[in-house]
Structure 1
Amino acid sequence: MSIFTKPFMVLLCCIFIFVGNVAAQEVTAAKPNNQPKTDSLIADSLRKLKQLIYFSTPKNLSTASSAMVLGKEFNTTPVVAYPLALAGRLPGLTVSQTSGEPLNEGFSYRLRGQSPLVFIDGIPRSVTEISMEEIESVTVLKDAVALAMLGVRGSGGAISIVTKKGSPGKQQISFTGQWGIQKPLQNLISNPLDAYSYAQLYNEAIVNDGLSVANNGFSQAALNGFQSGNNPYLYPNVDWRDQVLKNSAAMARYNLNTSGGNNYVKYFINLEHIKQDGFLKTSDLNSNYSTNAGVKGYFIRSNVDVNLTDKLTAGIYIQGRILNKNNPGNAAVDNIFSSLLATPNSAYPVYNANGTYGGSSQFTNNILGQSIGSGYSLSNTRTVLTDVYLKYALDDITNGLWIKARASFFSNLNENIVRTKSFAVFEPIGISGTGESTYRQFGTNSEQGNINSINFQNRSDFQELSIGYNRTFEKHGFDAVVLANRDNLVNGTNLPYTIQGISGHVAYNYDEKYLAEISFAQNGANRYPNNGGFRYGFFPAAGLGWNVNKEAFLKDLSWVNNLKLYTSYGKSGKNNTAYYTYMQVYNASPTSYFGSSAAAGTTAGESYLANPNITWEKAKLFNVGLDGTLLKNQLSFNVEYYSNSYSDLSIVRGNNSGLLGISYPEENIGRQKYYGWDAQINWSQKFREFSYFINANASLQNSKLIYSAEANQRYAWMYRTGHQVGQNYGYIAEGLFQNQQEIAGYPTIEGYTPQPGDIKYRDLNGDGVINQFDQTTFGSEHATVFLGSRIGFSFKGIDFSALFQGVINQQIYLSGNSYREFQGGTAQAYETQLSRWTPATAATATYPRLTTSSGPKNGAPNNFVSSSYWLRNGNYVRLKTIEMGYTLPPAISKKVGLKSTRIFLNGLNLYTWSSDTFNGADPENYSGGYPIGKVFNLGVNIQL
């Protein structure tokens, strides 16, 4: 802890005690906090649950920006990783998924355009797979007041997960069983071509490239063979996806938890098992092991809180998890899907006539062999975490004062067991004198190998000491906390990564009408060049609020229950640097003392350029919002505007030069701005036994690149600065060349002679030449809008809910093996290419002329450069989840000794409305990778 922070912490503690004692002398009793009563489930939940990580000021008395969802709203969602269940539920939080592979879903979550920090029970965690049943609530923290206490890691926002705790009362036991079927969503924008169509298009591309079909393409005999299908061994037509992938896969989850307690001990204990199969086909030949991409998981949590005395409470929270991931011996499932994209239907047969794996000199790794004939691999993850705390009420000094100490230890280990074997493939080359087929062999068959290794191992320890004060005197309410903490992470063989410092929060309200808050942190990380690696920063924030409904001029408006206007501004940071980047390091080869290849490390020279001025990234966060509940709390709403400026971003300057002979370092010179709106509205109503709700949220997000040390450009349109962050950059396409006359009258393309059917580009500077001076940003720069809506009702024992999620003004840039033909060789082609340009289809073509990217006339240098031609509409709306449940009448359940019994059906990713761009493909996973699953799920919940 810095020598400057210690006296500051002591001073604040003294202020708290002094204010409490003076106020206690002036009043004989503290006025009770008359929190307005409400029948609204949302409002009640917001009061009861802690909304913020380090302080628990009630939401109606806070100026912080946060949004919460209860765990019971999504705990039956059939996913393994909880972030996948949050999509569409919280304004400002966006969740995307690019794969459906178990434990490798490729999901990402962004909060107002940034990567948030995840907390579980107030402690930073990187765990994304926990039991869904143990989650009480998930809260996103978005503004400076809520984030300033995080200091050097708060600029991206935070996701705070609160796990369930016990409560005094009779023991409750709950069992939930779920059984589901997954169906793969379409993961390609366009279907692969059959062998005959592929061969036709390939020959066409050969001609377009100025090459000879006789020497480089498919013969007429081959075309006839593909078309007739009479000799599938010599002229195969294999649907490889059908050969390798299943149409469905099972998944299941079983959960058992119990909770209860008394005035001395409260407990919550949870056990859960999940099993999710993959979409890869298996073989009966592998009776002793599975080659599918599946996962089995086991979770346990025990949360125990104890009142040791009237003033001393303690708690110990323990969680453990075991995750067993299975893969083919090829290890990476991605390798199989890469092979599916690279292998045309005509490449080779699955099996030859003699039962051996098919293959060729060009395709030496049979895809089915990769899946079922290469052995198997296991990835086993073991995690244990323990949180403990002690809290003591210092009411003897002054009422409302307390002190708390807590510590945590986390350990995570991943072990790989790889049992692989190789296999040979065979290509038929002719007929022997005896009339039997002869083959050329590629590769060898081998016995199973066995490798055991530790993939990663990390551990962390966390310590924190806090002192707080919460009390109301007449019309004056105080809520304050000051804490010092240290978070230390050791990842594998890396040096420890430590963040430590102090932080605090003070909230004041006058008559619950006028609100003021201050948050601060003075902390730092151990990756900087002074103070033994530590450098500290100060991160303050302040907020003001006004509960307008408390004013006299609104007293007579009975339909206004709550109305709050609030704003905040402050500074936060982000630690984004590696160890010792501030130190200049040299390397030397033992065989050379002079030379010019320092960057390659083959001669004496620098390994990299150091940055002695490295520091953390900074953010200035502004937020203003309006929050209210109306009409007897049936209608609630929230709308916020934010403008966040990010500076000292760690980037490699854009005006670097290769003439230096060594890589430039990352420097704290970048500046960006993110701004937009978050809004949420909820309506709920009850008529006797019927109740329903409708809620919707929207997040409008925009950004601007302020500075990136961009190289000087000849023309203004060439700059990326001033446009959206990550904006597409390249040429503006103006259709396809239709004939030679059009080409002759068009500006020339530097370094390339275009052909009819090639993409033509706009000559921005009008100099008659298309080159780098005609490149600019392209695509829409309107804000992206993320949408979510949840509706539902209950009637007697029936309940129903549905969640919709969508994106507006999203643009997708199409590229890669899943969309373009042949990929510079003989890779797969797709039905999209059937609409290619030819002299006969010139008026209707939507795809350029075909090319193999070889020969004197290939179009690869022109057609596949970055341009607006490949930009598509990525808007979609998805029916994310839907659930129907029925709770048996209590009289029936009690007859068999049960408190309640609920049977439910739900589904995930059931239907998606998207643009024609996707041709029915999933709008998040359209590039041919492991498909996302559409899940149909049956479950039962029994409570004792």
Structure 2
Amino acid sequence: MQKKLLLKFSAVFLLLLKIIPANASNEAKLALNFKQNIDTLQKAPSLYLVDENQLPLVGIKLVNTKNKFSAVTDMNGIGQLSYSTGDVIEVYALNSLVLKVEIKKNESMIMVSSKNPGVASLKPIRTLYDQTVKPSLSTMATDVVYNTDLTKTPVTSIKSSITGRLAGLYTNQNSGRLGSEGRTDGTASLISLGSLGSDAVTMSLRGQNPVVIVDGIPRPLTIFNMEEIESITVLKDAVSTAMLGVKGASGVILITTRRGAKAKQSISFTAQTAFQKSLKLPQALNSFQYATLYNEARLNDGLTPVYTAADLQAYQTGSDPQGHFDVNWADLVTKPSSRFNHYTLNVSGGNDFGKYFVAVEHVDQNGLFRTSDLNTYNTDNNYKSYVIRSNVDLQINKKLSAGINLMGRLINGNEPGYGSQSILNSIYATPNNAYPIYNPNGSFGTTSSYQNNIYAQAISSGYIGTYKRDVSADLFLKRTFDEITKGLWLKAKASIYATLSENTYRNKSFASFFYNPTTKAYTQYGTIGTQNNYTGINYQGHSDYEELTLGYDRNFGQHGISAVLLANHDNSFTGSDLPYTVQGISGKASYNFDEKYVADVAFGYNGSNYYPPSGNYKYGFFPAMGLAWNINKENFLKDSKWLNSLKLYGSYGKTGNDNPGYFVYIQRYFDGTATYFGSTPGSNTSIYEQPLANPNITWEKANKFNVGLQGAILDNKLSFTAEYYRDKYYDLLMQRGKNSALIGQNYPLENIGQSRYTGWDFKLNFQQTVNDFNYYVAATGGLQQSKVLYQNEVNQPFPWMARTGQAVGQRYGYVADGLFQNTAEVNSSAKLEGYTAQPGDIKYRDLNGDGIINQLDQTAIGNAKPLFYYGLNFGFQFKGFDFSALIQGAMNRTIYLNGNTEWAFQNNGFGQAWEQNLDRWTPQTAATATMPRLSVGTNINNEATSTFWQHSGNYARLKNVEVGYTIPNHWARKIGLQSIRVFGNGTNLLTFSAYDRVDPEVYNGNYPIQRSINMGINIKL
């Protein structure tokens, strides 16, 4: 099947090539046309209009105040206008004056801020499969962020760069580890890079994990050179995603890379370096505090103290550093700061024949672990990448165009041999007085209870290198058929992608020793210097994608029609898995009357080979429709001076989510070891089935409704968008709650679940220019609530135990009623099943009043209000100075704290204790205590899931600030440069949170989030 499709697409390519006139293949004539195009561009009296992202601006009116000549910019941003040095040009967007600029000598380019609502409303909206639509003619729910905002944050992940900038998109960063991209599973349409660690930024678009599409092709890659991205667009409703069919229910993150423009060659080089610092590391107790609290915990448990008064005095005074240790492991092993170096080189330009954009990037990011000069190799965790991209567009003749996108990248990662997170876990699990760093003879110290020296884990465990290679190539040909009927075109596209990840293991064992000061003897734990020396492939995969599109765009007087019909085939392989293939047809048609009334219909009809076959594939049909009304074009508002634009729009449709698993409709059997009648484990081989097959599995579905109001007022200075959505997801895959273990097998996932997401998205944008001072304010936000409509759960004896009706992903636990203050209160309260409470323990609410605390008293806990997330972006430009800032945050959010960094003396009593444990309950601190009494090891009462450990996750973060200065152009030209800009920016500078003991996003011992201070310079030739 795959070979046949490839042959068909190859035939289409050949057919398009045959349409080229024979004389066009003459190399000499092609070269002559190329030179003539350049000469025409250079001689034409024209002005070139771009925004701050270097994108050409279309439909902008230019007026020369001297001679009153005017022109409107074409699709290349060029306005044919007679002018001379010193003339003042007025720039209008939708009849609103945006800018006045005096033409200086040898200047033909005018930059206009896209923050202006009038300018923004003329920029086309990018949609699926490389299509664009004029904003006033769109019925879709979308939002976009452009290059200049993306590059303000020194990151490698698009997830981090778009935080707080797009309406309807909520992000959460729960780890700060280096690298930015995790491996997807075998059902992904294309395979992405494996994780080097991952910054673990999760994206939620109206409650769903969106599909990532790069230059029109489903490709879930999120590591990017930010300078190579033109824009990132979110597609949120059914009309905008219907053509994806079984992949459209979750919404889309649409990444569009930069392309060349019809302009003289531009070379841009940026060098920047950042200093990074970890935020909000857990604060461990020193040895004296630890020993004091440990004694107290043992007394609470009815045990004898282990530290004498002399021990406590030695810890407090530091009088015996050899026998009473106090090692701050976090300070010893981690660095106070690290470096992030970033270099990019871009070259772009073009003419009527060809346009090109080429980008090269290098990133070198260090981690947080200290290294040792004794090693000849690096034991820190770090990340290095080398990326090259080339996008070329050719206008072969008036009817035939082509393009090719090439991308290649190498990524090298390094980890301590023991592993970054494992070292952090050791820090969180080891008290300061556990053992010395070194023994008197210079060996690594340890004890029988702690047999792995943390410093040795960091510097003497070798290293693990990760090497990743990615290559992609996209090719398209487009032929217009105006000779048949004006506006008809055909486009063929093909793409290949390959990825490989391999690990080089140079990790080694190490020995640590317990020194007995009495006998002077050493006891060895571990093996000295046993090193691994092998390289293995972590995973590899490749994919191919083919697409054929027939389109039609034409206006008939007041009637406008646009339509596309598309067939595509998306095929991917991961390791030794069988290929995963999605294929089908889709289409979209739009009609507008006088650009006043707009109607869209769209559909997807496709399926995948991982479902039970009907023929070779099982297909589904996913339709959607949308309507829009440009109210401002009505006669009763046409001459309104206060209203510039006002559009009411809405859509409704059915979309799909492909979640098939790996051929789960087939009953599978596995071989493995098993124990029979008392024989030792692993002594026999068995064949067993697991899990039960589901022969009726199909895709998940969503009915999505969206309605919005969009407009601009105050002479196009203030724009607004408000949208309401109501999405029902059904046929969700989940396991039955009403199942039985008697059958001896796990039940399969079945299409039985239902949930609903409702909410509001909004965006507000204001921009104004006063003389040389240009400023803007943009606010985005979302309000989202979810509800489980149905899940197959066991019959719950009490309504508060039911999962149906609660929020999706709702946590369940006990409701805490403070701490027991005395024995009388303990005796008069309900008892936790299997536990005898003491004063200082957490008291739980007896919901069913039976005098026993058990699972029947567990209920939904957490904030039941809709999640509210927001971003506030503001800035200004004055002469050569520019400033911008982004504040981002969330409300009605909860965080849950537990584990080694929250509770004292975990790991059977050998764990660390923390600053917050000083506020534990004692008879003396009963009135002010914020933590329960201390225990050694696990306390089943106090560590049970409950509201006691749940805190407000509301926060506001100064996510980004940037200050820059562009040296006057006449100074730059004296040394042969077009422009020089120096800048500095900072990320995660300030955080204001309702519960500020931990970072509101990264807690519970995860790799800490990083604050960065970055400095750089941009030079353009």
Q: TM-score normalised to the size of structure 1?
A: 0.92
- Where does structure 1 differ by over 6 angstroms across 4 or more consecutive aligned residues? 32-35, 588-595
- CA gap of 1:445–1:604, structure 2 versus 1, over 3 A, is closer
Matched, 1:786 2:869: yes
Q: Classify 1:315/1:784 alpha carbon distance in 2 versus 1 (closer, same or farther; 3 Å).
A: same
Counterpart AA for 1:849 = R
**Corresponding position: 1:847 with 2:926:** no
Match of 1:314 among 402, 423, 431: 402
Residue 552 of structure 1, aligned match among 631, 635, 657:
635
Secondary structure of 2:443's aligned partner: coil
Matched, 1:210 2:302: yes
Task: Confirm or deny that 1:245 pairs with 2:334.
Answer: yes
Q: Distance in 1 between matches of 2:772 and 2:925?
A: 64
Looking at structure 2, the residues matched to 134 and 570 of structure 1 have their Cα atoms a distance apart, in angstroms, of 34
- Separation of aligned partners in 1, 2:734 and 2:567: 31
Q: Contact (CA 8 Å) 1:265, 1:305: kept in 2 or not?
A: yes
Q: 1:21-60 maps to which residues of 2 (within 5 A)? A: 36=94, 39=98, 41-42=114-115, 43-45=118-120, 47-54=122-129, 55-60=131-136
- How do 1:135-154 and structure 2 match up within 5 A? 135-154=229-248
* Structure 1 residue 231 corresponds to structure 2 residue 320: yes
Question: Is the aligned partner of 1:893 residue 2:954?
Answer: no
**Counterpart code for 1:419:** R
1:256 maps to a residue whose letter is L
Kept in 2: contact 1:762–1:774 (CA 8 A): yes
Task: Say if 1:526 and 1:532, in contact at 8 Å, map to a contact too.
Answer: no
Give the match for residue 78 of structure 2: none
What CA distance in whole angstroms lies between the structure 1 residues aligned with 2:122 and 2:473?
27
Alignment counterpart, residue 195 of structure 1, candidates 261, 282, 287:
287
1:83 equivalent to 2:198? Answer no
- Could you report, residue by residue, the CA deviation over 1:826-883 in whole angstroms, capped at 9, with x for unpaired residues? 11111111111111211221111111136xxxxx121111111111011110110101
Matched residue, 1:270 = 359
The equivalent residue for 1:368 is 455
Shift, 1:814, TM fit: 1.1
Alignment deviations for residues 332-356 of structure 1 (CA, whole Å, 9 cap, x no partner)? 2111111111111111111112111
Answering whether residue 148 of structure 2 is matched by residue 72 of structure 1, we say yes
Q: Which runs of 5 or more residues in structure 1 are unaligned?
A: 6-31, 855-859
In 1: Cα distance, 2:880 partner to 2:531 partner? 56
CA drift at 1:605: 4.9
Question: Residues 576 and 270 from structure 1, CA distance in 2 versus in 1: closer, same or farther, beyond 3 angstroms?
Answer: same
State yes or no: 1:873 paired with 2:952: yes
Give the structure 1 partner of residue 43 of structure 2.
none
C-alpha contact 1:587 1:601 (8 A) present in aligned 2:
no
Q: Which residue of 2 aligns with 1:773?
A: 856
- CA deviations on 1:81-127 (whole Å, 9 max, x unpaired) are 12211100001111221222211212111111100001111111121
Write the distance in 1 (CA, Å) between the matches of 2:675 and 2:986: 65
Q: Is the 8 A contact 2:561 2:590 kept in 1?
A: yes
1:414 lines up with 2:490 in the alignment: no
Instruction: Tell me which residue corresponds to 1:397.
Output: 484
Corresponding residue of 1:345: 432
* Alpha-carbon contact 1:803-1:881 (below 8 Å) kept: yes
Q: Relative to structure 1, is the Cα distance of residues 906 and 35 closer, same or farther in structure 2, using a 3 angstrom cutoff?
A: closer
Inter-partner Cα distance in structure 1 for 2:320 and 2:676 = 63
Query: What is the letter of the counterpart of residue 918 of structure 1?
Result: D
Cross-structure match for 2:189: none
The 2-side partners of 1:588 and 1:65 are apart by 50
Cα displacement (A) at 1:659: 3.2
In 1, distance between residues paired with 2:615 and 2:933? 62
Whole-angstrom CA distance in 2 between matches of 1:282 and 1:605: 48
**Structure 1 counterpart SS, 2:936:** coil
* Separation in structure 1 between the aligned mates of residue 339 and residue 976 of structure 2, nearest angstrom: 31
For residue 606 of structure 1, the aligned residue among 658, 670, 689 is 689
- Partner of 1:152: helix, strand, or coil? helix
What letter corresponds to residue 924 of structure 1 in structure 2? E
Q: Which aligned pairs between 1:418-567 and structure 2 lie closer than 5 A?
A: 418-432=505-519, 437-531=520-614, 534-567=617-650
> What SS does the aligned partner of 2:128 have?
coil
Partner of 1:834: 918
Q: How do residues 711-722 of structure 1 correspond to structure 2 at under 5 angstroms?
A: 711-722=794-805
1:543 counterpart SS class:
strand
Cα–Cα, structure 1 residues 203 and 163, in superposed 2: closer, same or farther, change >3 Å? same
Between the two proteins, what is the percent identity of the paired residues? 49
Aligned mates of 2:292, 2:667 — CA distance in 1: 58
Farther-moved stretch of structure 1 (299-308 vs 55-64):
55-64
The alpha carbon displacement at 1:234 in A equals: 2.1
Q: CA deviation at 1:265?
A: 0.8
Spell out the pairing of 1:544-943 with structure 2 (5 A cutoff). 544-586=627-669, 605-823=688-906, 824-853=908-937, 860-915=939-994, 917-919=995-997, 921-943=998-1020
1:840 corresponds to which letter in structure 2?
Q
**What is the rounded CA distance, in whole Å, between the counterparts of 2:1000 and 2:675 in structure 1?**
54
- Cα distance change on mapping 1:501 and 1:207 into 2, 3 Å: same
* SS state at 2:175 partner: coil
| CA–CA separation in structure 2 for the residues paired with 1:465 and 1:403 | 8
The SS at the match of 2:973 is helix
Q: Structure 2: which 5+ runs fail to align?
A: 6-73, 76-91, 99-112, 180-197
Counterparts of 2:244 and 2:672, CA distance in 1? 44
* Counterpart residue number, 1:26: none
Quick one: which amino acid aligns to residue 269 of structure 2? F
Q: Equivalents in 2 of 1:616, 1:64: separation in Å?
A: 24
> 43-52 or 520-529: which moved more?
43-52
Q: Which letter maps to 2:654?
A: K
Partner SS, residue 113 of structure 1: coil
Secondary structure in 1 matching 2:928? coil
Q: Deviations over 1:119-138 (max 9, x none)?
A: 11111112111211100011
CA distance in 2, matches of 1:223, 1:610: 62
Structure 1 residues 479 and 36, CA gap change in structure 2 (3 angstroms) = farther
Separation (CA, whole Å) in 1 of partners of 2:414 and 2:365:
10
Please tell me whether the aligned partners of residues 278 and 1010 of structure 2 are also in contact (alpha carbons under 8 angstroms): yes
Tell me by how many angstroms 1:588 deviates: 6.9
With CA pairs under 8 Å and 6+ residues apart, which has the higher RCO, 1 or 2? 1
CA separation of 1:652 and 1:278: change in aligned 2, threshold 3 A = same
CA distance, structure 1, for counterparts of residue 709 and residue 804 of structure 2:
33
Instruction: Provide the rounded CA distance (Å) in 2 between the counterparts of 1:370 and 1:656.
Output: 46
8 Å CA contact 1:187, 1:929 repeated in 2: no
- The answer on whether the counterparts of 2:673 and 2:685 sit within 8 Å (CA) in structure 1 is no
Name the CA shift for 1:37/1:532 in 2 (closer, same or farther; >3 Å). farther
Cα distance, 1:794 vs structure 2:
0.6
Distance 1:870 1:930 in 2: 21
What letter corresponds to residue 123 of structure 1 in structure 2? I
**Deviation at 1:789?**
0.7
Q: Secondary structure at the match of 2:703?
A: strand
Q: Are 2:422 and 1:335 equivalent residues in the alignment?
A: yes
* Partner residue in 2 for 1:10: none
In the other structure, the counterpart of 1:28 is none
> CA offsets, 1:335-383, max 9 Å, x none?
1111111111111111112111011111111111111111112111111
1:312 maps to a residue whose letter is: L
State how 1:177-192 maps to structure 2 within 5 Å: 177-188=271-282, 191-192=283-284
Label 1:585 to 1:276 Cα distance change in 2 as closer, same or farther (>3 A): closer
Match of 1:18 in 2: none
* Contact map agreement 2:487 2:552 (CA 8 A) in 1: yes
Q: Please tell me the residue identity of whatever aligns with 1:41.
A: S
